[in-house]
Amino acid sequence: MRSGVLRLALILTLTPSLMAFRMPLEDGVRDKLLYDVRGAFVTARPDVPQGLVIATDMLIDEAVRSTMRPSMLPRTIISVRIDRAAPVPVVFGRRLEARVTVQAVSVSTGEPVATGSFETSVFLFGNKDADAALARKIADRVASEFRLRSGHSATITSALFEP
Residue 23: inside a domain: no
Phi then psi dihedrals of residue 82, to 5 deg: -90, 105
What confidence category does residue 155 fall into, taking pLDDT thresholds of 50, 70 and 90? low
The pTM of this model reads 0.71
Range of the domain at 35: 28-160
Task: Report the number of distinct structural domains present in the chain.
Answer: 1
Q: Per-residue pLDDT tens for 13-26? A: 877 776 666 656 55
Distance from the Cα of residue 104 to its chain's centroid: 14
Residue 42: inside a domain: yes
